[in-house]
Chain A
């Protein structure tokens, strides 16, 4: 349960969760509930495999995943911000749409109702062996992860700085707390919320790309509830990037342990429940009250 291989696998499991929960964070901090993370992950996964399949370059796949994530979140932003509709309903609709559409497109493209053919994955980043034993040492420890793992970890730090130390972050958080105040100061609430939701689409789309490229193929419904777990991690982390990432690592670890336990007497369903149980504990305030943005879910 504590072997290096489990930690290794935990970090891979956590990466799409971290990216999606950072996405959720930007959206929710602007005041828009983004339950569509699930559908965005799935769409990002599909788009990245599709693009990689036709170009042979996984980096094009990554860009396609991000782009698809932004497109889907654009629907959510339009419905929630411009038409002021119920954000939960919009999110659920997008999730159902994404599940159906990706499966349909899989069938159209590859003639299979369940999965795509395998594609080229991402090469791991490592230092040149010629740099000597130190470089080789570093490669042994951290050189065997796909690049997006590092991107996700750096994104946590960047999100923290952006949200707490830049004018954009201050305005975004203000929009989630009290949109009327932001409006009265001459800052556009619509723009801030669009920015929050589209950023969330980009990040969750990136998470979807990692998810698919890590397994070298698209499988129907491969997001498998990770969008909801990312949302749960964001709440468990009290709407903070570092807290959310820590929760994702915890949930990723639980998932890795569960995979290690398969075939043994503990039913995997028990381990799968962990994220949601922890989230409920966080919500009822056992580990200090989690306070959502005051205007979360309220159209303006």
Chain B
């Protein structure tokens, strides 16, 4: 009997007005395997999965799911055939309970027309205990951590009887411990005979978890390999089309005087909670301090207070000996603080402005670009052309709107602008979130160059590997405090993860002592 594939896609093509998202893609997923699909942002992985799921209609090509041909299908058709998808941005209703989210659309009914809450709870409990997905069915989604939300998503898919699960970038938002737990769950699902399609751009995860790998680039499949017979380097080459530095080389730098000194800094959040609690830190010139932490533990507020975007309630921020606490952002910028914000579309640039306008944003009032209250358009365009050439921004056109750039190029634009002014302090928050490997390499190299040129760097990132690669020192934030500090290279990701989740909080004093030793 021939081996039956769980998924077969042949010649699938999807064209959008400006780009071909999927170009004659073939995909075979064998029953009972964990199949990784990797590729950079915009390579077409997510589009391909949305086509399979029925959320996007392909222009050409054929799809077979569990042996049945699908033409012009909707999500309800693929769900019936046993396909389930855990979306990158969770599809959960915040004010609903876990149980309500799980049964939504296929509700158990009592008395002919009422939702049977008890049956819903029992189903959730049974499914979650079967695969080690501990979950309280009565808890509201808005009270859950990201890791638990993901479990709710997986239970939701299993409740629908899925035997093929698609997980779209499932590890991006998880701590290392949560990733380890997720992998256990996925392996036990494979054990039970289910097929798993795993979309990611993290190469080591592919090698660790997957059986086979399909690599995509620019909407095409560039390779199908067995995970045990490949290396991260080979996968990266197939993804990017050239050799890539997966880890930038970090030389020793000479550290000088303290540039940033934060002492006993506290701040109150929008809801009145203490989001920063007596934070102390110091960064010297030529030094990168990495802040690790699960999102929402005060990192955002720390960055905002330092850059003047959020008020401190007590404590102070000193920049090279000058008190900049609660000064206006423009004053702080003009004193030599550059800021790569975590949400580039909200704070990094104005999407509807041109590249040239965005490249001068924040400096538009300087005498160089502004005479007698009027903007010097010619000068701004000249300046833009220089930066575009220097940083290889694409497309190389100052008049294009920033919203038309890829995520990677938008980030390069911000880096080009912020680094242009030779800042004394660089504050970089999630500098590589959602950008491709090529742009990551560029951003990392640029940050190290700034350090080598004598800038002090505050790096906040949810990507532990990024923190580990770049930082000279690493601080961990939890609950608005710095709970541990380490010299770079003296700590493992697992240890950091422990502090990030508060698991190691009791031994906080000890850890700080270790870090200092």
Contacts and interface: CB of A to CB of B under 8 A. Distances in A.
B95 interface: yes
A167 B115 CA distance: 6
Given A171-B105, A185-B75, A185-B104, A166 B91 contact: no
9 contacts: A167-B113, A167-B115, A170-B115, A178-B91, A178-B92, A178-B93, A180-B91, A184-B87, A186-B77
Nearest to A295: B93
Nearest to B114: A165
Given A174-B93, A181-B104, 17 more contacts: A166-B114, A166-B115, A167-B113, A170-B100, A170-B107, A177-B94, A178-B94, A180-B91, A181-B91, A181-B92, A183-B55, A184-B75, A184-B91, A185-B91, A185-B105, A185-B160, A186-B77
A294 interface: yes
A225 to B, nearest CB: 31
A167 B76 CA distance: 17
A75 B75 CA distance: 28
Contacts of B335: none
Contact of B95 (A165, A177, A183, A184): A177
A184 B76 CA distance: 8
A294 B95 CA distance: 9
A161 B91 CA distance: 25
Interface string B100-119: 10001101010001110000
A171 B75 contact: no
B79 interface: yes
Contact of A167 (B85, B91, B96, B109): B109
B105 A186 contact: yes
A187 interface: yes
Contacts, number: 62
A187 B105 contact: yes
Nearest to A178: B93
A174 B75 contact: no
Interface in A81-104: none
A contact patch SS: helix
B104 A186 contact: no
Nearest to A174: B93
B74 A186 contact: yes
Given A183-B75, A184-B75, A294-B94, A174 B115 contact: no
Contacts of A165: 114-115
B199 to A, nearest CB: 15
A178 B142 CA distance: 13
A215 to B, nearest CB: 37
A186 B114 contact: no
Contact of B85 (A170, A184, A294): A184
A177 B87 CA distance: 17
Contacts of A182: 104-105
Interface string A44-87: 00000000000000000000000000000000000000000000
B113 A181 contact: no
Nearest to B160: A185
A184 B94 contact: no
A184 B104 contact: no
A126 B165 CA distance: 61
B107 A167 contact: yes
Contacts of A166: 113-115
A294 B141 CA distance: 14
Interface in B102-146: 104-105, 107, 109, 113-115
Nearest to A169: B115
Contacts of A167: 107, 109, 113, 115
A174 B106 CA distance: 13
B104 A171 contact: yes
B96 A174 contact: yes
Query: Could you say which of B53, B93, B95 has the most chain A C-beta atoms within 10 Å of its C-beta?
Result: B93
Q: Which of A161, A171, A181, A182 gathers most chain B CB within 10 Å?
A: A181
A174 B97 CA distance: 11
A186 B76 contact: yes
B104 A170 contact: yes
A186 B79 CA distance: 8
A20 B53 CA distance: 40
B124 to A, nearest CB: 15
A237 to B, nearest CB: 16
**Which 8 A-B pairs give the minimum distances between C-beta atoms?**
A186-B76, A181-B91, A185-B105, A167-B107, A186-B75, A177-B93, A184-B91, A165-B114
A178 B101 CA distance: 11
A295 to B, nearest CB: 10
Contact of B55 (A173, A184, A294): A184
A74 B483 CA distance: 58
Nearest to A186: B76
Contact of B93 (A161, A181, A186, A291): A181
A165 to B, nearest CB: 5
Contacts of B85: 184
Interface in B70-88: 74-77, 79, 85, 87
Contacts of A171: 104-105
Contacts of A185: 75, 79, 91, 104-105, 160
Interface string A180-218: 111111110000000000000000000000000000000
